[in-house]
Structure 1
Amino acid sequence: MNTTNIDFLKNIPIFSDLDDETLQKIYKSGLLQNFRKNSVILSEEDAGSAMFFIVEGKVKVSRSSGDGKEVILAILNESDFFGEMAILDGMTRSATVTAVEDSKLFIIQRAEFLELLRNFPEVSISLLQELSRRLRAATMKIKALSLKDAEGKVATVLLQIADEVGKIRQGIVEIDDLPYQQELANMAGTSRETISRTLHSFAKKGMIELEGSKVKILDYEKFKELYGQ
């Protein structure tokens, strides 16, 4: 069996315990689709007809606030998935998902994914574990953002991104591609000006280093101790 075309499925946590034969069946049940940077993949209130897995690239999950501003709920990366809520409850999409960079997605239609859950309990359990992790993280983030001042909110978002995509080396966490300041502001529930001012304040205090879209948290454990949830 040629396993090259299923290698990306092995990196998706909810499929990691499945054998190659089963992964081949999953691969045949879906399709690969490319999305250009800034393309809207799905919109809030759309019908939920498919499940999406990120093969390459990065997407943002967002909602519109009451005053029309974008609120970024999450940044998802390679091997992450989205679209599960509407698949499971049959309701409309709860958020908009946009490609942050050119991305390749693996898409499984609702009927095929529900059949997969029925046939493979281990996938269902892995999915529930991931949903629980996301709910716990979202609850902690909401609590943190509601209690902290502007500096604390920015730090919370930095820590979230560091945990998701940061590379740690000798106590230093490197984030290679920090989101734009407006996107950080939308994640933290503050303004772009506050993001800029706070990042430069952190840099001046020797907590971080800034270089274009790259940022280093110079003493990750200390930073987490000061601002962690």
Structure 2
Amino acid sequence: MISSLSRPLGHTRPGGGSVIGERPHRGLLGRLSERAVNALLDSGGEAAYEPGQVLLRTGDDGTHVVLVLTGAVKVQADDELTPALLGVQSAGDLVGEMAVLDGGPRSATVVTCGHVTARLISRRQLQVLLQEHLELLVAVAVSTAERIR
């Protein structure tokens, strides 16, 4: 992690006025109302990462999820010789939700594919958000099912 940043998308400007139009119209964020997006973006903390940084590691505890704001990450299964690419997630996508939701260990490693900004949302914060925003619960379930499929 290299630094904290101001929220680059989906937030309310000082003095009012939403900049929701700047958010990605794909992935998890693309499925949500402005209200739910703002709730997500008001949670956790923002961080910036360099290319090749590991965000989540196979086997680790699921203490938080990562909401990718800019850039892309690769999701890979760890192998003794060569990691297998499972997918690529980009701005608007949430990663790490399976371990957070079921309390099990991380099932994959997530590595940045370039410069990435992300929002790190704790397990507890995500649980509260899912209880308060049914549409978020449904969107997370659908996004996760699509990736698994």
Q: TM-score, normalised by structure 2?
A: 0.78
Q: Name stretches of at least 5 consecutive residues in structure 2 with no aligned partner.
A: 1-15
Distance in 1 of aligned mates of 2:85 and 2:66: 18
Deviation of 1:7 (Å): 4.4
Matched, 1:38 2:34: no
1:26: which partner in 2? 40
Return the letter of the residue paired with 1:85.
M
1:77: which partner in 2? 90
Return the letter of the residue paired with 1:46.
D
Matched, 1:101 2:114: yes
1:89: which partner in 2? 102
Deviation of 1:90 (Å): 0.6
1:13: which partner in 2? 28
Distance in 1 of aligned mates of 2:21 and 2:104: 30
What RMSD, in angstroms, separates the aligned Cα atoms of the two structures?
A: 2.3
SS at match of 1:122: helix
SS at match of 1:33: strand
Of all paired residues, the percent bearing the same amino acid is 23
Distance in 2 of aligned mates of 1:74 and 1:95: 10
Distance in 2 of aligned mates of 1:9 and 1:39: 23
**Are the counterparts in 1 of residues 67 and 92 from structure 2 also a CA contact under 8 Å?**
yes
In structure 2, relative to structure 1, the CA distance for the partners of 1:107 and 1:54 (3 Å cut) is same
Return the letter of the residue paired with 1:8.
R
SS at match of 2:137: helix
Distance in 2 of aligned mates of 1:41 and 1:17: 24
Distance in 1 of aligned mates of 2:142 and 2:55: 25
Return the letter of the residue paired with 1:49.
T
Distance in 2 of aligned mates of 1:6 and 1:106: 18
In structure 2, relative to structure 1, the CA distance for the partners of 1:25 and 1:130 (3 Å cut) is closer
**Are the counterparts in 1 of residues 28 and 94 from structure 2 also a CA contact under 8 Å?**
no
Return the letter of the residue paired with 2:33.
L
Matched length: 134
SS at match of 2:38: helix
**Are the counterparts in 2 of residues 6 and 27 from structure 1 also a CA contact under 8 Å?**
no
Task: Say which of 41, 51, 54 aligns to 2:65.
Answer: 51
2:81: which partner in 1? 68
Distance in 2 of aligned mates of 1:127 and 1:95: 17
Q: Deviations over 1:196-223 (max 9, x none)?
A: xxxxxxxxxxxxxxxxxxxxxxxxxxxx
Return the letter of the residue paired with 1:111.
R
Return the letter of the residue paired with 1:54.
V
Deviation of 1:2 (Å): 3.9
Q: TM-score, normalised by structure 1?
A: 0.52
Distance in 1 of aligned mates of 2:26 and 2:126: 18
- 1 or 2 for the larger relative contact order (CA 8 Å, sep ≥6)? 2
Return the letter of the residue paired with 1:4.
V
1:226: which partner in 2? none
